Structures are given as C-alpha cells and as structure tokens.
Amino acid sequence: MHPASEQLTAPGGLAERLAGLRSAAGLKATELAASLGWARSKVSKIENGGQIPSEQDIRDWTGATGHPGVTDELIAMLRQVQEIHTRWRRRLREGGQASVQRDIDELTRASARIRNFQVAIIPGLLQTAGYIHGIASQVSAVFGTTDINATVSARLGRQQILYDPEPRQFEFIFTEAALYMPPCPRAAMLAQLDRLMAMDLENVTIGIIPMGTELVMSPLNGFMILDDLLVIESYAYQDQVGGEMAETLARIFDALMSESATGEDARRLIAKAAQSMRQE
C-alpha cells in the first residue's frame, strides 16, 4: 500500500506543489491563510502533510496565488491521496483490525531494533488483553468492525516476539499521562500497570516522560520505527515511510528518550499511578 501522507508530502507531491505556488506568489503561510479567511495554521498543516485539503481548498489556493490553470491537475493529485485513505478505511471494515495486526507482526519480526513512541497510550507490545480490548473497542466504534476478540488475540500473539531467542532490541516511550487515562475499566488498567511493573527483560527499555517535562521536541502523534522503516497508525490510515522522514523521527525518538525516566525511575511513576488508581 502506498501511504497517503507519504504521497502527500513526497518531493513533487501535492503539498510541495501547493507550497511552491504560495512561495512564488511571495506570500507567507499566515498571509495566504488570512487572505482566504482560514485559521492561521491551516496553510502550514496542509504544506506539512498534517491536513488533507479539500477540492475547494485547492481552488481557493490556486486562485489566491494566481495559478488557476493548475487547479485540475492538483485536484487529480488530491483524489489519489483520498483514494489511499478510502482503501485503508475499507480494509478495516472488510478485513478487520486483526489483519492489520498480522501485517505489523510480519514487519516487526523482520526487524532487529524496534522503537515505539506513543503520546497517551501504552505501546501495543506492552499491552494486556483488557487494555487491547479497550483500544479495539474504540476503533470498532469508529469503523464498525466486529473482530474485537480476534484483534486481542492477534496483538497478544505479536508480543511473543519479546521473548524470541533471536536477538532484538525494544525501546518504548510514552508519557506519564498514559498511566492515568485508561481506555478500559479500572481493574483492567490496574492489571496493565502491574504488567509494566513486571516487565524486566534485558532487551526492553521503557521510557516514561514525566508530567511537567519541558520537551525539546513535542511530536503530535505516535510512531514506530522498525530498523529504518517508519510506521504511523491512526484511526484513518497507516503509513510506512523510509528515507529522510524515518531518519528525522529517529532523531526525535532519541531526544524523547533522553527526557524520559527509565529503570527504577520509570517504575516509581508506574507505582504512583497504580496507587492513585487504587485509592480512587
């Protein structure tokens, strides 16, 4: 599958073409947004791949930058990106979440170094059955998938890779907030925290970014790096990207790890969250 956001932001892709039109017109991103009556950040989001424009957005953009003649070409590019997102949603509805988990499992098993950052959830390879069920239920509510139990089984099956004799290095980072925002019942979340406390494998590093940490970099979404392949999942799509983008996120991952509590410091944060939840 050709990832939608990769196509959107690839050299010569839609985002770059739109940015080029704006630059050629001598407009700053905020100036173009103001001229179109948009939110100040909308132009930057589109150019950075954080937001897919609508067809009307493109018409407005080409008109405001003085290049209405390329409108049809850019709309055709947009429709290719939209089709990729549509195929991803269709795959979830028809193949279910479990098939996606199996694909990720194959990629993970082919990797020697697995790095995973999540903003406000526990990384998949560390999740318990109850926690997975909560996440899968949320996705089911969005897409109407019905394979929740199969998804739980598939994700638990993926976790065997942590104990495989083949040498692999696992590095996980998430924020302390993930310890306090359960996507599952309280009892299931306590079991999840116990699992984190008991995780004591030499090939596994868990980093927790404490609340109040002033971050050098603040990523807006979770991501996983399998050797040199970047994988980004959301409710709407899954992207697999190599090259410069993967290298950039690898540097960000290292910066986040340097800000994280690890070892006994991480366990203290987990124990604190568990105590707070039991008291409540």
pLDDT in tens, 187-204: 999 999 999 999 999 999
Instruction: Check whether residue 45 and residue 151 sit in a common domain.
Output: no
Q: Which position has the higher pLDDT, 224 or 144?
A: 224
pTM confidence score: 0.66
Instruction: Check whether residue 25 and residue 135 sit in a common domain.
Output: no
Sequence-distant (6+) residues with CB within 8 A of 35 are 27, 64
Instruction: Check whether residue 151 and residue 234 sit in a common domain.
Output: yes
> For position 179, which CATH number holds?
3.30.870
| pLDDT tops 80 at residue 61 | yes
Residue 166 lies in a domain: yes
Q: Bridge partners of 261?
A: 208
pLDDT confidence of residue 88: 56
What domain range is 46 assigned to?
4-83
pLDDT confidence of residue 243: 76
pLDDT confidence of residue 197: 96
Token match 């998804």: residue? 151
Instruction: Check whether residue 79 and residue 115 sit in a common domain.
Output: no
| pLDDT tops 60 at residue 239 | yes
Instruction: Check whether residue 155 and residue 229 sit in a common domain.
Output: yes
pLDDT confidence of residue 142: 72
Residue 91 lies in a domain: no
Number of domains in the chain: 2
Residue 135 lies in a domain: yes
pLDDT confidence of residue 65: 96
SS (H, E, C) 141-210: HHHCCCCHHHHHHHHHHHHHHHHCCCCCEEEEEEEHHHHCCCCCCHHHHHHHHHHHHHCCCCCEEEEEEC
For the ranges 14-28, 39-53, 153-167, the maximum mean pLDDT occurs at 14-28
Q: Which residues in 137-174 are b (16+ Cβ under 10 Å) and which e?
A: eebbeebebebbebbbebbeebeebeeeeeebebbbbb
